[in-house]
Amino acid sequence: MTTFDIIYQNIIKKIMTEGIEELNQRTGHKTRSLPGVTFQIDIEKDGFPLLTLRKNPIKSPIAEQIWFISGSKRPDEFLQKFTKMWNAFIESDGTLAAAYGWRWRHHFGRDQLGSLILLLENDPSSRHGVVITWDPKDDGYGGSPKKNIPCPYTFTINIIGGRLNLHNIIRSNDMMLGCPFDTLGFALLLCILAQRLGVRPGIYTHSISNAHVYDNHYAGAEELLKRTNNNQKIELHLPKNTFERAEKLDEALVGEIFTDLSSQYNPNEPIGGLEIAL
């Protein structure tokens, strides 16, 4: 099993054995939940965190992260060619109210992601590389009605010892569906930013305020806990100029990254019945 498989399986086991079961009023589902769950993956040592204990989508999180980097808030621009998962959250004007990339590059009156790159080019030792997705004047607290608000709501980038590290903070993570998807996407972002800044990929840290398994995923979680395999670590090989090509929404880029990862991907069988709890 890969390092990520072992870490992930242990977290699911802890949630299923120690998690507190409560009713989530928004979804009408019960969940088993734990607070303050954090894990780390060293991209160079442990490999790229792509879950192999069950078959997971690869192309859609790749396309999503490229779309984020571009700063778009319209899924019909590029994203819908690869995945329809955001369609349920589209507002009447065709946009996502809390599109992550738009928040990173436009929403607060500054290009946070572009400024981050300039900052670390000029001062690799800086500890000011914070990108915010959550808008406190508009998100949460039962405020403005909209179809989605950010789950991963901030991340920090720093360079230590010539390696770029990303600390991703998530207010709420559906562990059977959301966590593997988010981990792949933001680890990819780490690698893309490391390439853009000419440094090595470092440690990806994933911190969750509320880590939960929904009741309609309990059987799937129990099945996952029985599984093992002999898979070795996966190594990501990015095409040249990935960040610049992502900014331009280069469709070929999705296929190139997908081909690299899928050629190394030998997962266990899918686990059925994992429907999104909306």
Residue positions annotated with a catalytic role: 151
What percentage of the chain's residues is helix, strand, coil (to nearest 5)? 40, 20, 40
Token pair for 53: 């204990």
User: Bridge partners of 159?
Assistant: 164
Spell 216-241 as b/e; 16+ CB within 10 A means b. bbbebbebbeebeeebebbebebeee
Q: Is the dihedral of CA 217, 223, 226, 232 positive or negative?
A: negative
Q: From CA 104, how far away is CA 200, in angstroms rounded?
A: 23
Q: From CA 6, how far away is CA 98, in angstroms rounded?
A: 33
Q: Is the dihedral of CA 258, 259, 264, 266 positive or negative?
A: positive
Q: List helix spans (H) across 19-158.
A: 43-46, 59-70, 100-102, 112-122
- For residue 92, the SS3 value is coil
